[in-house]
Amino acid sequence: MSLNKGKDAKPHIGIFGRRNYGKSSLINTLANQDIAIVSDIPGTTTDPVKKSMEMANLGAVILVDTAGIDDDSPLGKERIKKSLLQISQIDLAILVIVNNVFDRIEEELIDLFAKQEIPYLIVQNKTDIFPINLEKSNALSARLQVPLIHFSCSKPENVKVLFEELNKLIPSSSLQFKSLLGDLIQKDELVLLVTPIDSEAPVGRMILPQVQLIRDVLDNHAVVVCVRETELEAFLTKVRPKPVLVITDSQAFELVDKIVPPEIPLSSFSIVLARQKGEFEHYLKGTPKLAELHDGDRILMLESCTHHVSCDDIGQVKIPKWLNQFSGKELIYEMASGLEGISRPIADYALVIQCGGCVITQKQIKNRLRPAIEAGVAVTNYGLAIAFMHGIFHRATAPFRSQKI
């Protein structure tokens, strides 16, 4: 499987700490520009602030500035909740402390890092104001077994050291982009993408999964052709050699399955992305739950991006309609968009259906699904669910079942 630097899902680095500890100044210093508002008034940062930047040896990363985690006011507690939510969405954390203060608040943060398997380092900030106590610093670093860097945003002499430590700590899996089809196709082979144009298709451009597949095929020195489902049958009668793989939009599965000869492997954009993003084995195991639902079961639809909902919306309209018809049951659907939390305990759901996740990282997908998996709630994916309901689950997953996932 070929590996390249991340092209769509950049590593996320979160900055955490108490109010007025200089987190916003730190993110501005790292990015070398004014991104976050800086003030001497505690609590200036409210919602998390994100900024994409280039780091030597890492490439593009996202820096995430969060609100202070020591605000006990009603509004502050809401800000803290948003800050802590970021932990499930990052690949690496920077914990900012000042004047060697490290007690319950910081201990609770590193416990959360450990639970989510997030590597972290400590930056002791404002060293131009508060004298460095090397004995305390060294003891803390040794106890936690993490780097502790002395830093001053007004005199950022250690910025190079900080970048070097970030380079060492960030998980290699966050920096690698696994080829979507690299272990399935060879040089000069033809891959056919069936791309319906409906009310959900953005005017004048392709949707992100289609663009990602086009680039991936080209990166593997193969040939990619795009065709609408309305021209598919005519194209297949003319093209030579035949495609080694056909990838379609999930909502066109039923039609495309009838047109593409059985000897040509067929799958969907959503299934290909699901395989790359992880938890594919859990999807394979959880998808048959679609045939075991009961009246009153709750279905959680996880849409990773936010977009305008049309009458043809795949997550909010089409899948619920197909699932009602397939199951013959009265089901309750709830939608969570972006990376927002859910309003009820995960165990209340009979099934979780995740979108392809083209705009989020592998880490974010895994953490998004972790509560359901740990609670024994079945999970599946848009493409796998649609294939199952249309009776082509085995065909749509066959290209990947014999491959290393």
Boundaries of every domain in the chain: 3-176, 178-272, 280-393
**Residue 66, pLDDT above cutoff 70:** yes
For the record, the structure tokens of 192 come out as: 């056919």
CATH topology classification for 280-393: Rossmann fold (3.40.50)
φ and ψ at residue 42, rounded to 5 degrees: -60, 140
pLDDT at 33: 52
Q: What interhelical angle do 208-219 and 269-277 show, nearest 10? A: 70
Distance CA 96, CA 75 (A): 22
Q: What is the mean pLDDT of residues 23-34?
A: 79
Q: What is the mean pLDDT of residues 187-198?
A: 92
pLDDT at 311: 47
Q: Do domains 178-272 and 280-393 have the same CATH topology?
A: yes
Q: Please tell me the CATH code under which domain 178-272 is placed.
A: 3.40.50.11420
- Least confident among 37-41, 229-233, 262-266: 37-41
pLDDT at 207: 81
Closest CA to 252 of 288, 200, 287: 200
Task: Give whichever of 3-12, 174-183, 261-270 has the largest mean pLDDT.
Answer: 261-270
Q: What average pLDDT does the chain have? A: 85
pLDDT at 405: 44
| Residue at 116: amino acid letter | Q
Q: What is the mean pLDDT of residues 252-258?
A: 93
127: confidence class by pLDDT, cuts 50, 70, 90: very high
CATH topology classification for 3-176: Rossmann fold (3.40.50)
Q: What is the mean pLDDT of residues 46-57?
A: 70
pLDDT at 202: 64
**Total-model pTM:** 0.64
pLDDT at 174: 61
Integer-rounded Cα radius of gyration of the chain: 24
- 197 or 257, greater pLDDT: 257
Q: What is the mean pLDDT of residues 21-27?
A: 90
Q: What is the mean pLDDT of residues 150-164?
A: 90
pLDDT at 199: 60
92: confidence class by pLDDT, cuts 50, 70, 90: very high
43: confidence class by pLDDT, cuts 50, 70, 90: very low
- Decide: residue 199, CB within 10 A, 0-12 exposed, 13-18 middle, 19+ buried: exposed
Closest CA to 375 of 347, 345, 350: 347
**Residue 317, pLDDT above cutoff 70:** yes
Distance CA 226, CA 206 (A): 11
Q: What is the mean pLDDT of residues 97-120?
A: 93
**Residue 325, pLDDT above cutoff 80:** yes
pLDDT at 175: 56
pLDDT at 4: 35
Where do the H-state alpha helices sit in 170-240? 172-175, 208-219, 232-238
**Residue 7, pLDDT above cutoff 60:** no
- 139 or 357, greater pLDDT: 139
- 382 or 309, greater pLDDT: 382
- Least confident among 133-142, 169-178, 244-253: 169-178
pLDDT at 84: 82
**Residue 318, pLDDT above cutoff 50:** yes
How many Cα atoms occupy the beta-carbon half-sphere of 397 within 13 Å? Answer: 22
Provide the b/e sequence for 31-62 (b: ≥16 CB within 10 Å).
beeebbebeeeebbbbebbbbebebeebeebb
Q: What is the mean pLDDT of residues 297-304?
A: 92
55: confidence class by pLDDT, cuts 50, 70, 90: confident
**Residue 306, pLDDT above cutoff 80:** no
Strands 59-65 and 92-98 turn out to be: unpaired
Q: What is the mean pLDDT of residues 326-351?
A: 90
- Specify which residues 336 forms β-bridges with: 302
Residues 6+ apart with CB under 8 A from 152: 125, 126, 127, 128, 129
pLDDT at 307: 46
**Residue 310, pLDDT above cutoff 60:** no
- Least confident among 10-24, 92-106, 135-149, 201-215: 201-215
